[in-house]
């Protein structure tokens, strides 16, 4: 008989940042293990529940006993299992014993011919698992597979037995309809009772009448919203309503991670409004927002233009008739936090960023790459060189200044307390000193983009410094052999490489990648700070940074770019065709890809791609260096004359379009080569006996290969 199943594990407060994952994993594993045993139906569905003190799953249409299964065990060839008299051999008896049968089963064995010999089979029926057996197995596996961030050991009530689990467990519910299913885990026996809210439950314990009444009884009798999703939606609803009452156009800060964490901390949310003194608003709002979110789990309220107000929302786990004591308590708690932030801000502004640079020499960056102070010198050198290329002395000067001051806020009190504010506080302190806004914003933005989808620096100085900072990291760490391997990337070099790619592409910088990497390498090796480090380690800078470092880094960047482009929807063939040429202007790559896609749709594309691949193979096998030149007097065959004539006509068109950046037109011009190329391979022997003819035909193919592979390596499109 089908009934719905409810399983709940009641525990002490679970880790809030892991709760949602724990709830999903618990319910999913339970369902999958029951399904594998035939205890669910095609219509069965699982609903996960997770609150600070419980993990639960509701599974529909679960049977009390799985259907019996017919089994057929392949034993061995009849000639091995039976002797000349048809009696069982010792080998057969041993096999039967292992399967739980005895000699009496010999007469029931079935023979089947597999085309070579008669094979003995033992057939029977396996009883289906009962729900009690299946649930026990499912519970054991669900607990074993939970993604527990950190296991704790505790003693059971007998005072002797110790168990390991994420938190001490105090109750187990297993209901099939209204019937309790026997099961045990962590020293607990299953029942039909659970606990509601610590302080506000109407009934304690809550006796569950039926598996389908779980959420409703917990809500009405236990004062608990068991569903994580429903509790989250309720908090969001209350936040929106409370913000509307707090003031016109006030909205709670949007932070999914904070919302998830708060959802994991409360069982019965009650949103309350608190406020603090206006004087704290003199502190940068990022500091106040961070301390309220990180330390107190409050939701700051922002005005329509994104400015912080002096009001915030508290998500309480209790709902007293008079909430003034709860609000007052939270206001008293947050006030010292904000006072600390104000103190740090006031103290930090008493020293200039420039005066803090000496302190960076005491902050270790890497034992082979020196201190943050030495690193700052290198980044400033790279930024100056890039700025000089992009905007002359003015940009180079601003970029160097911003790069030199970019890490100074690391040794401020505010960033020491809140590392998440690095860069942001540097910008505030720079503005306080009256530094150029371009420099101030570059100090904040030089970390960008920090992750996929993050915004880019807001001005050119910031772009240059961000680029220099990431290049210094990549060249330095890869230069000393710290290239990521497998899934290990302790210095986030893949993220830095993607940052370089985005900066070059999305800001359309007129910088060639190899030249840029060479600039970074030359500046890094040439900076006195790095040479001092390497000399102290008993080696020269060139020992640490071999000349091939830029080429190794280029390959690393193209590899990251390849993965990124495929994630954007380009095919592997399209990406490989474009990146095979290692285009130096990364901002051109999107246009090249679109051109390749348009070319691949032409009827001539398949034939030309195959021909291009064939040409490439011929040239690779040719002896010596083949020059892309044609001697017209040595073109004796009509097919090679026609191909040379077509090349003379098509190449100028394709080259002109390429020079103008019209890659689509450049590739489409090549379509006219299909007929003469096909005719050439049908009627001309490239490896002619006459060395002069052979050399000329190879030169013709080299000219063809050169013309066809300016935008992309078209051979990569061949099947």
Residue 608 lies in a domain: yes
Same domain, 394 and 265: no
How many Å apart are CA 520 and CA 674, to the nearest integer? Answer: 44
For the cut 60, the answer to whether the pLDDT of residue 541 exceeds it is no
Radius of gyration of the chain (CA): 36
**Residues 389, 523 share a domain:** yes
More confident residue, 411 or 69: 411
Clarify whether residues 138 and 118 are in a common domain: no
Residue that has been written with the tokens 């506000």 in this structure: 200
Which of 382, 437, 380 lies closest to 403, judged by CA? Answer: 380
Q: 109: pLDDT confidence band, cut at 50, 70 and 90? A: confident
What's the rounded Cα separation, in Å, for the pair 529 and 681? 60
Burial of 682 (0-12, 13-18, 19+ CB in 10 A): exposed
What H or E segment, with its residue span, contains residue 350?
A: none
Candidate from 121-130, 305-314, 615-624, 659-668 with smallest mean pLDDT: 121-130
Has residue 505 got a pLDDT over 50?
yes
Q: What average pLDDT does this structure show over 555-561?
A: 95
Report if residue 694 sits inside a domain: yes
Question: Same structural domain for residues 208 and 146?
Answer: yes
> Of 109, 124, 139, which closes a domain?
124
Alpha carbon distance 377, 531 (integer Å): 12
- Residues near 547 by beta carbon (within 8 Å), at least 6 away in sequence: none
Q: What value does the mean pLDDT take over residues 527-547? A: 56
Instruction: Of 119, 122, 91, give the one whose Cα is nearest residue 104.
Output: 122
- Residue 576 domain-assigned? no
Are residues 447 and 327 part of one domain? no
Cβ burial of 620 (10 Å; 0-12, 13-18, 19+) is exposed
- Number of neighbouring beta carbons within 10 Å of residue 1: 8
Do 423 and 492 share a domain, yes or no? yes
Domain membership of residue 227 (yes or no) is no
Tell me: pLDDT of 55 over 60. yes
Q: Virtual CA dihedral for 587, 591, 596, 599, nearest 10 degrees?
A: -160
Average pLDDT over residues 78-92: 83
Residue 276 reports pLDDT greater than 90:
yes
Residues 545 and 421 in one domain: yes
Residue 688 — pLDDT band, cuts 50, 70, 90? confident
Question: Is the residue at 359 inside a domain?
Answer: no
Helix (H, G, I), strand (E, B) or coil at 56: strand
Cα(634)–Cα(617) distance, integer angstroms: 23
Q: Residue 193: which CATH number?
A: 3.30.70
Same domain? 173 vs 241 = no
Scanning the structure block, which residue is given the tokens 């285009």?
Answer: 583
Half-sphere exposure of 472 (CA within 13 A, CB side): 32
Q: Which of 302, 321, 348 is the last residue of a domain?
A: 348
CA-based end-to-end distance of the chain: 56
pLDDT tens profile 137-194? 999 999 999 999 889 999 988 888 899 999 999 999 999 999 999 999 999 999 999 9
pLDDT, mean over the chain: 91
Contact (CB, 8 A) for 576 and 565: no
509 and 393 together in one domain: yes
Q: Which domain holds residue 696?
A: 600-717
Least confident of 8-22, 130-144, 542-556: 542-556
Asked if the structure places residue 586 within a domain, the reply is no
- CATH code, domain carrying 609: 1.10.730.10
Q: Tell me how far apart the alpha carbons of residues 115 and 3 are, in angstroms, rounded to a whole number.
A: 48
Q: Are residues 395 and 269 in the same domain?
A: no
Same domain, residue pair 561 and 619:
no
DSSP 183-244: -EETTEE-BSEE---TTT-SSSSEE---GGGHHHHHHHTT-----HHHHHHHHHHHHHHHHH
Q: Which of 220, 254, 279 corresponds to the end of one domain?
A: 220
H helix or E strand, kind and range, residue 548: none
Q: Give the position of tokens 């911003």.
A: 402
- Please report, for residues 13, 56, 265, 294, the alpha-carbon distance to residue 23 in angstroms, rounded to integers and kept in the order given: 13, 7, 14, 24
Give Cβ neighbours of residue 475 (< 8 Å, ≥ 6 apart): 517, 520, 521, 524, 545, 549, 550, 553
User: Residue 632 and residue 641: Cα distance in Å, rounded?
Assistant: 8
C-beta of residue 667 within 8 angstroms of C-beta of residue 596 = yes
Q: DSSP state, 4?
A: E
State the pLDDT at residue 115.
Answer: 78
Structure tokens at 404: 């030199």
Express each pLDDT in 442-494 by its tens digit: 999 999 999 888 999 999 999 999 999 999 999 999 988 888 988 889 999 99
pLDDT at 626: 84
Q: Are strands 184-185 and 188-189 parallel, antiparallel or unpaired?
A: antiparallel
Greater model confidence, 447 or 627:
447
- How many distinct structural domains can be found in the chain? 5
Q: Where do we find the tokens 């039976």?
A: 82
Residue 546 has pLDDT above 80, yes or no: no
Instruction: Please give the pLDDT value at position 545.
Output: 67
Same domain for 455 and 544, yes or no, is yes
Closest alpha carbon to 696 in 596, 615, 650, 628: 628
> How far is it, in rounded angstroms, from Cα 298 to Cα 308?
13
């Amino acid at each position: 008989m089908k009934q719905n199943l409810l399983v709940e594990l009641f525990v002490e407060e679970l880790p809030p940042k892991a709760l949602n994952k724990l709830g999903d994993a618990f319910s999913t594993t339970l369902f999958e293990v029951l399904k594998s045993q035939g205890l669910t139906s095609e219509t069965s569905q699982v609903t996960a529940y997770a609150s600070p003190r419980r993990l639960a799953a509701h599974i529909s249409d679960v049977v009390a006993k799985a259907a019996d299964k017919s089994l057929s065990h392949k034993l061995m060839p009849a000639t091995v299992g039976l002797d000349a008299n048809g009696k069982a051999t010792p080998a057969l008896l041993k096999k039967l014993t292992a399967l739980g049968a005895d000699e009496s089963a010999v007469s029931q064995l079935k023979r089947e011919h597999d085309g070579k010999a008669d094979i003995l089979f033992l057939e029977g029926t396996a009883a289906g698992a009962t729900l009690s057996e299946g649930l026990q197995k499912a519970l054991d596996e669900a607990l074993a597979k939970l993604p527990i961030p950190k296991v704790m050991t505790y003693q059971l009530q007998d005072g002797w037995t110790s168990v390991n689990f994420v938190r001490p467990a105090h109750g187990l519910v297993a209901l099939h309809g209204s019937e309790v299913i026997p099961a045990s885990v962590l020293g607990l026996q299953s029942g039909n009772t659970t606990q509601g809210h610590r302080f506000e439950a109407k009934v304690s314990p809550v006796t569950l009448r039926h598996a389908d009444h779980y959420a409703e009884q917990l809500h009405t009798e236990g004062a608990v919203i068991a569903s994580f999703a429903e509790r989250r939606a309720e908090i969001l609803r209350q936040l929106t309503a409370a913000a509307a009452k707090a003031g016109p156009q006030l909205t709670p800060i949007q932070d999914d991670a904070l919302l998830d964490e708060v959802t994991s901390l409360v069982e019965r949310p009650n949103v309350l409004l608190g406020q603090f003194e206006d004087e704290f608003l003199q502190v940068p709002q990022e500091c106040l927002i961070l301390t309220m979110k990180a330390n107190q789990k409050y939701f700051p309220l922002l005005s329509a233009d994104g400015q912080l107000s002096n009001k915030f929302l508290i998500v309480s786990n209790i709902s007293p008739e008079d909430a003034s004591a709860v609000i007052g308590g939270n206001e008293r708690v947050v006030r010292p936090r904000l006072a600390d932030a104000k103190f740090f801000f006031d103290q930090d502004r008493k020293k200039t960023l420039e005066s803090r640079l000496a302190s960076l020499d005491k902050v270790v960056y890497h034992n082979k790459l020196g201190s943050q102070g030495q690193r700052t010198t290198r980044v400033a050198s790279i930024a100056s060189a890039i700025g000089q290329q992009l905007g002359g002395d003015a940009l180079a000067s601003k970029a160097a200044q911003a790069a030199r001051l970019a890490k100074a806020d690391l040794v401020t009190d505010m960033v020491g307390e809140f590392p998440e504010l690095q860069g942001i506080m540097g910008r505030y302190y720079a503005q306080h000193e009256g530094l150029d806004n371009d420099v101030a914003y570059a100090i904040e933005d030089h970390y960008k983009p920090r992750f996929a989808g993050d915004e880019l620096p807001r001005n050119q100085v910031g772009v240059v410094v961000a680029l220099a900072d990431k290049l210094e990291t990549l060249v330095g760490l890869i230069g000393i052999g710290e290239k990521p391997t497998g899934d290990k990337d302790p210095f986030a070099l893949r993220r830095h490489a993607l940052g370089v790619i985005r900066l070059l592409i999305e800001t359309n910088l007129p910088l060639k990648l190899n030249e840029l990497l060479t600039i970074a390498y030359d500046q890094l090796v040439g900076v006195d700070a790095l040479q001092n480090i390497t000399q102290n380690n008993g080696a020269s800078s060139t020992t640490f940074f071999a000349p091939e470092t830029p080429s190794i880094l280029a390959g690393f960047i193209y590899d990251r770019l390849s993965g990124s482009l495929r994630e954007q929807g380009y095919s592997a063939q399209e990406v490989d065709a474009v990146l095979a040429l290692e285009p130096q202007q990364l901002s051109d790559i999107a246009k090249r890809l679109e051109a390749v896609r348009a070319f691949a749709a032409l009827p001539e594309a398949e034939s030309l791609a195959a021909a291009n691949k064939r040409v490439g193979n011929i040239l690779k096998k040719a002896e010596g260096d083949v020059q892309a030149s044609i001697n017209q007097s040595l073109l004796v065959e009509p097919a090679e004359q026609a191909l040379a004539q077509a090349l003379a006509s098509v190449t100028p068109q394709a080259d002109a379009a390429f020079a103008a950046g019209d890659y689509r037109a450049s590739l489409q011009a090549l379509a006219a080569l299909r007929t003469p190329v096909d005719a050439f391979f049908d009627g001309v022997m490239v490896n002619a006996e006459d060395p002069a003819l052979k050399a000329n035909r190879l030169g013709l193919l080299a000219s063809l290969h050169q013309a066809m592979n300016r935008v992309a390596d078209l051979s990569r499109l061949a099947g």
